[in-house]
Amino acid sequence: MFPDPSIEDRRAAAALSMDINLDRRSTADLAIVTTISAIYFIDLLAVLFMLWNRRYPPIKAKSPILMACLFLSSALWFVGDVQMNGHVTLANTALTKCLGLGFWVRILLGICGVCAVFALRSFALYHVFCLNQPYRGVKVYWPVIVYSACILAYGVVALVLKSEKTLYYVGPLDICSSAVGFKASVIGFVWITLAFVAFNYWRIRHIKSSFNESKEMGGACLLIFITTLYSTLVQFLYPRFPLSMAYRVSLTVLSHLCTNVIWWGTMFVPLWGCLFNRRVYLDQWIEKLRRDGLQRKYHLESTSLVRGEFTPADIAMNEAVMREYVYKGPDTYAFYYDGEGGGQRDMAVEGDVSVRALNWMQARNSKDVGFGNDRFLL
């Protein structure tokens, strides 16, 4: 897959006969593919850590499932870029089938997937902060259902068409190329998706939030816009961009720098706090919500708090369901509850904050409190 001197010689001869400039694939392409692959491996470790701690309130507030989908779509985008941007040898491999990776993986699952994640997140923020409605239930996912149906229909149509009218392999140059009309339709589809993302961001630009969700969305929209604009200009002004070292490297680096900046810009602070300062950061996070008066906006359903991890802030937030607590040391509290054991109740905490006690904790004795999988909705 990586530069084969004989194939590169053949490509150079073909380009010369066609009077086309061609930059041979070199160790620079290998370095780009290797470096970005290593970055995505680090991202994968971060995603696994995020999902393992998905019930940690500051992480859960960032929609960890959506952020995992963002990572997956970005990685698929990169896999497609390796083929379509001409970083590796395609000859004598399955990569000569351009429509599979170049369209389905790179465009539909990759680029459109990234845009869909941001559209869904902005739509969720609009529901919570502007409409004051919880973002749950089938009805709130209708935009994703409609968009997924459009993607599926578009993909099926592309499969039915002849390869000469969509994406096709150019043997002498060992690259994938696309028909002008198909390229225009693909880029138009991406821009329509971006327009929906931008529309949702415009609706949430003035929301009051504790953790800069509006700024995060604004920055993400700007980065995606810049990347898509550059890609559009390159593909139309220089259709044979995979033959140019400068264009193929810059396009790949810009695209995946963009996706990584967006992902880490959203998740770095809660992941760092969870990993290195778990309890203190959670206290600070809850305290900020209380100061801003936004506890209800950031309610965290079924948030698991592991054994021995309850803090003074947790106690303060849930004091209405407690009869008393006994201090057991610098990091542990024993709890005694009002009520009759199991079941669910809604009760007011600190005025207007609704807290549901799920799976009530049962104190075995004053020295050993059963935490287990007990959960609260903060």
Residues 130 and 260 occupy one common structural domain = yes
Q: Does any domain span residue 295?
A: no
- CA pair distance 326, 329, nearest whole angstrom: 9
Residues 41 and 146 occupy one common structural domain = yes
Q: Does any domain span residue 294?
A: no
Q: Does any domain span residue 289?
A: no
Residues 24 and 161 occupy one common structural domain = yes
Per-residue pLDDT of the chain (378 residues; tens, 9 = 90+): 567 778 888 888 998 888 888 989 988 899 999 999 999 999 999 999 999 999 898 898 888 999 999 999 999 999 999 999 989 999 888 888 888 888 999 999 999 899 888 888 877 777 776 666 666 666 667 777 888 888 889 889 988 888 888 899 998 999 999 998 999 999 998 998 888 888 878 877 776 655 566 777 888 889 999 999 999 999 999 988 999 999 999 999 999 999 999 999 989 999 999 999 898 988 888 877 776 554 444 443 333 333 333 344 443 444 333 333 333 333 333 333 333 333 333 332 332 223 333 233 333 233 333 333 333 332
Closest CA to 252 of 92, 69, 78, 74: 78
For the entire predicted model, the pTM comes to: 0.75
**What is the predicted pLDDT for the residue at 365?**
32
Question: Which of 216, 244, 279 is a domain's end point?
Answer: 279
- CA pair distance 295, 129, nearest whole angstrom: 12
Residues 261 and 337 occupy one common structural domain = no
Residues 17 and 166 occupy one common structural domain = yes
Q: Does any domain span residue 285?
A: no
Residues 329 and 248 occupy one common structural domain = no
**What is the predicted pLDDT for the residue at 106?**
92
Q: Does any domain span residue 81?
A: yes
**What is the predicted pLDDT for the residue at 72?**
97
- CA pair distance 294, 209, nearest whole angstrom: 7
DSSP designation for 331: S
Q: Does any domain span residue 109?
A: yes
**What is the predicted pLDDT for the residue at 26?**
87
Distances (CA, A) of 325 to 217, 254, 306, 357, 366: 41, 54, 17, 16, 10
Residues 269 and 311 occupy one common structural domain = no
Number of domains in the chain: 2
- CA pair distance 319, 135, nearest whole angstrom: 27
Residues 271 and 369 occupy one common structural domain = no
Residues 178 and 309 occupy one common structural domain = no
Q: Does any domain span residue 370?
A: yes
**What is the predicted pLDDT for the residue at 197?**
84
CATH number at residue 53: 1.20.1070
Residues 102 and 189 occupy one common structural domain = yes
Q: Does any domain span residue 292?
A: no
Instruction: Show the domain range for 336.
Output: 301-377
Residues 123 and 236 occupy one common structural domain = yes
Residues 340 and 266 occupy one common structural domain = no
